[in-house]
Every structure is written in C-alpha cells, then in structure tokens.
Amino acid sequence: MLFVFPGQGSQKIGMGKDVYEAFQSARDVFHEVDDAISFGLSDLIFNGSEEELKKTENVQPALLAFSMAMVRVLQREFGVDVADKSTFLAGHSLGEYTALCADRVVSLSDTAEILKARGAAMAEAYPTGGTMAAIIGLDVDALEKIVSGCASENEIVQIANDNSAEQIVISGNINAVKKAADGALSAGAKKAIFLEVSGPFHSRLMENAVGKISEILSKTRFDQPLKPIISNVTARAETGDFRELLSRQITERVRWRESILFAESQSVSRCVEIGPSRTLLGLTKRISPTMELISVNSIESLESFAKICDAK
C-alpha cells in the first residue's frame, strides 16, 4: 500500500474541522502545529479567507496539520498505523515532508517549523517576474525539447512537475514560460493553463531559498524511516540522505509520474491519499489505471478505511 500526501492547491477553508471537533487526537495535532509556528493557524484553516490560507507560508503547515490529524486519528482512534500498513510513503512537493512526519522520521513540531520557514523562503526567493503553467496533452519528452529551446542564460524555464502523461507543469521567468507554452500549443498540446502561484517553484529561480532551507534542515533531527519514502527528485525508494533530497527538491522537478510507476513496478496495487481533496488520486488514476484508489479526508472516510484495514 502506498500512502501519499498532497502539496499546494489541494487546500480548502474548513478542511479537517469535522475531525477536529470529533477527536481530541486531531485537536492535539492542530494545536501542536499552532504552537510550533507561534500562529493561530487552526483558526485560519477553519474560519479564515481562501486568500490568506493560500499564502505559501500558511498553506504548507496547514496541509501538514490536516494530513497529520488524519494520520493521528487513524492511529489513536482506529488502531491503524499508517507507517506500519504502508509499503512506501510519498508526498507531492511539501507533501514529502508530511510523508516523513507520518513515517516518524521528523517530529510534527519540527516539520511544522520547517514548512513555515520553507514557505516564507520560497515566497521571498523570487517575488516577481516568475510564473508556472500547466501543459495539458503533451508528453514529457516533447515538452523537454521545447523547454530546452526556450531557455537561455538570462531566461529560465524548466519542467517543475511531471505529474502525469497528460499534465506537466513548467516554471521559470514569465517570458520564457510564455514562449514555451506557445511552443507546446503549436506542438499539439491541448491547453496551457497559467497558474496562480506566488513564485516559479521547482525551478533554478528558487536557488535563493535553498541555503535557508538547508540550514534549517541541518539543525533538524532525522530518525530512520520505518518504511521507505519515494523521493520527489529520484522517484525511487529512499531510506536516508533526506536533508540533501529535500534541499534539491526546491529547484528540481517533482517526478510524480515516475514515482507512481516505480510503486507499480514494486507490486503496489493500492494508493491512499491522506489530504483534503483527491488531487493525487486523479493523477495516479491516469498513470496507473488498475491501481485501487482510496481518499481519506473525512470522518466517514476514516471509518471506511479502518474497516478495509481490519478486513485484511
């Protein structure tokens, strides 16, 4: 079984409020994150505005809080240990930090602190002049050639997220991304959708954030994982060198398509997304149509998943 955790874009106001109100174990997670970052994040998640929540420095620890509340409730209330039940864990971008936390590699409070700082560092790294665009309906090899032809010494564009055969995100300077998007459409892409983001994430324009994040990671305790983590940057099962891999993740592509194909090659047949939406399951369905997909994002789904685990 593969447990996956989402990145930015899957958040919504009110996420996790039902489990927060129902279980002390969930409340403990939200409060621990609040305390770790010295900010009333829970109130923002439940009662704030979408505009404030989607800020990079807020949404990163917010998604951690949601997913880890679900993980903790599964463990404490239903007797289902995510790490124990998994073959691998993986996360999309910031979700990889959640995977490490769920795998008990990094503590919840440390992970929250890292993600708050990571979000701020990413927002500050390249505040203007960068963008991202989702290219729909063009394969990665064809897009790679187009991107290479549009990049120059002064204008960066690169593949940021290889999400599926049908969806690839490019990132970089505005003019270079526009040029690459036009080239992709001319080459047969169905759509080029410019994303509402606060920076050109997973590109070399994020290099100013690497030093800050590496410094924080160097001071953080990393324990041995209980189960391997499929890394964003290698798309392979990893059991160490997480500081280096997470630092590289800032400027390198998220290899999600390859990660799912790797899990499939290791005979994984069930993918469980612990997040407020079904974003990663939608991508996984396109990559591996035969894989069983399960979403854990509410009390009802927690109960349903626990029954599945009991039945095994």
Task: Name the residues annotated as catalytic.
Answer: 93, 202
As given in the structure block, the two tokens for residue 252 are 């390198």
Contact present, 109 and 21 (Cβ < 8 Å): no
Question: At a CB cut-off of 8 Å and minimum separation 6, what does 81 contact?
Answer: 74, 75
Contact present, 291 and 24 (Cβ < 8 Å): no
As given in the structure block, the two tokens for residue 7 are 């990145």
- Residue in 266, 280, 227 with CA at minimum distance from that of residue 5: 280
Provide the 10 A C-beta neighbour count for residue 220. Answer: 16
Provide the 10 A C-beta neighbour count for residue 241. Answer: 12
As given in the structure block, the two tokens for residue 308 are 């599945």
Provide the 10 A C-beta neighbour count for residue 115. Answer: 28
- Residue in 47, 65, 67, 45 with CA at minimum distance from that of residue 55: 45
**Angle formed by the axes of helices 299-311 and 56-78, to 10°?**
50
CA angle, residues 88, 5, 206, in degrees to nearest 5: 110
Dist. CA 285–CA 120, nearest whole Å: 33
* DSSP per-residue codes, 228-241: -EE-TTT-SEESS-
The sheet carrying 157-164 orders its strands as 157-164, 167-173, 130-136, 191-194
Q: What are residue 293's DSSP bridge partners?
A: 271
Dist. CA 92–CA 7, nearest whole Å: 5
